[in-house]
């Protein structure tokens, strides 16, 4: 997620990149052919660019609003993951009780459950980004359990299953009563809802025809710009055409960047920073000695 507070014109131009350079080169070619080669037939001033551009702006704006809604839904879902992870840790640390004889055993169960929740968050992030989670799980999950997890297609789901098994064992040993066990189970169900919603966004892209048609229309519009402007602007056509084209190309790029918030790209939601926040919070609740540092932005990007 980009967190830089300001943007320079050069950076904005690089954001659009190759399409903008190609448009400028095409504009220059049209001007040279029209002004110096005498190709008067290139001028088509009667093209209703204002009408075409207005309709195209509405379509691109609607697509971008839909893409931003997906991006913001993803961020809202992971806000729920943060809250539910904290709730789960609080419930585990306060609702699983012990007698004096079982204190050490219960403390071990509590710590293991909270560390498994941290592992669940890291595994879910890596699964959404298509990355292997094993380095993140080291120290959070037992080695024998990691070996079993390597055989699973859905690692975060398997980790939650391990959590459920440990909670069931605690219930059978009378470390937790049925009412408190039910409350913790509801928190796990909320986390599973968040996982399912994240996977829905990840596995359901924007309709390709919806995205492709707008891109084609913007391409045609940009190609018509210098042809409609060259008769009035002459040598200044590349300035006006490239500037107007830049706005539409930027709109198209923004929509495409926002529509997929889990691709491990600079415009994604900051899953690494969110996961690290959960890691820090839950280890502080465990009173761990080694607490990781928050993730810092790199070149204006918070991963």
Does the structure show a pLDDT above 60 at 8?
Answer: no
CA dihedral 210, 216, 218, 221 (to 10 degrees): -140
Q: Which of 99, 96, 126, 123 is nearest to 112 (CA)?
A: 96
Using CA atoms, how far residue 29 sits from 35, 45, 227, in Å, is 10, 17, 11
The answer to whether 85 and 117 are in contact (CB under 8 A) is yes
pLDDT at residue 224, as a whole number = 85
Residue 191 has pLDDT above 90, yes or no: yes
For 137-175, the pLDDT digits (tens) are 888 888 888 888 998 889 999 999 999 998 888 888 888
What angle, 0 to 180 degrees and rounded to 10, lies between the N-to-C axes of helices 49-95 and 208-233? 140
Whether 135 has a pLDDT exceeding 60, the answer reads yes
- Determine which helix (DSSP H) or strand (DSSP E) holds 159, and give its type and residue range: helix 155-172
Q: Which of 20, 25, 28, 47 is nearest to 235 (CA)?
A: 28
3-state secondary structure of 177: coil
Q: List pLDDT tens digits, range 203-228.
A: 888 777 777 888 888 888 888 888 88
Nearest to 55 by CA among 63, 45, 43: 63
In this prediction the pTM is: 0.82
In sequence order, what are the residues at sequence separation of 6 or more whose Cβ sits closer than 8 angstroms to the Cβ of residue 284?
291
Query: What's the burial of 255, exposed, middle or buried (CB within 10 Å: 0-12/13-18/19+)?
Result: buried
The per-residue pLDDT for 2 is 57
> Helix or strand or coil: residue 138?
strand
Give the pair of three-digit tokens for residue 208: 């390709």
């Amino acid at each position: 997620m980009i967190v830089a507070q300001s943007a320079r014109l050069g950076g904005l131009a690089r954001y659009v990149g190759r399409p903008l350079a190609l448009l400028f080169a095409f504009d220059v070619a049209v001007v040279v052919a029209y002004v110096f080669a005498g190709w008067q037939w290139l001028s088509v001033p009667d093209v209703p660019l204002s009408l075409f551009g207005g309709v195209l702006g509405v379509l691109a704006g609607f697509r971008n609003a839909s893409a931003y809604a997906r991006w913001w839904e993803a961020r809202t879902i992971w806000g729920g993951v943060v809250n539910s992870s904290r709730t789960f840790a609080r419930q585990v640390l306060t609702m699983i009780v012990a007698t004096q004889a079982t204190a050490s055993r219960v403390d071990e169960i509590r710590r293991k459950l909270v560390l498994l929740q941290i592992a669940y968050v890291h595994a879910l992030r890596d699964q959404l980004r298509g990355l292997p989670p094993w380095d993140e799980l080291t120290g959070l999950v037992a080695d024998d359990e990691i070996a079993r997890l390597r055989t699973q297609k859905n690692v975060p789901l398997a980790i939650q299953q391990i959590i459920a098994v440990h909670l069931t064992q605690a219930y059978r040993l009378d470390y937790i009563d049925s009412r408190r066990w039910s409350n913790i189970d509801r928190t796990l169900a909320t986390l599973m809802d968040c996982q399912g919603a994240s996977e829905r966004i990840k596995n359901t892209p924007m309709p390709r025809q919806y995205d492709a048609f707008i891109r084609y229309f913007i391409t045609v519009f940009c190609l018509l710009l210098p042809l409609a402007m060259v008769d009035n602007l002459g040598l200044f056509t590349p300035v006006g055409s490239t500037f107007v084209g830049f706005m539409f190309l930027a709109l198209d790029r923004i929509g495409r960047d926002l529509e997929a918030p889990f691709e491990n790209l600079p415009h994604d939601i900051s899953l690494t920073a969110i996961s690290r926040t959960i890691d820090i919070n839950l280890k502080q609740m465990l009173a761990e000695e080694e607490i990781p540092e928050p993730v810092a932005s790199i070149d204006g990007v918070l991963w």
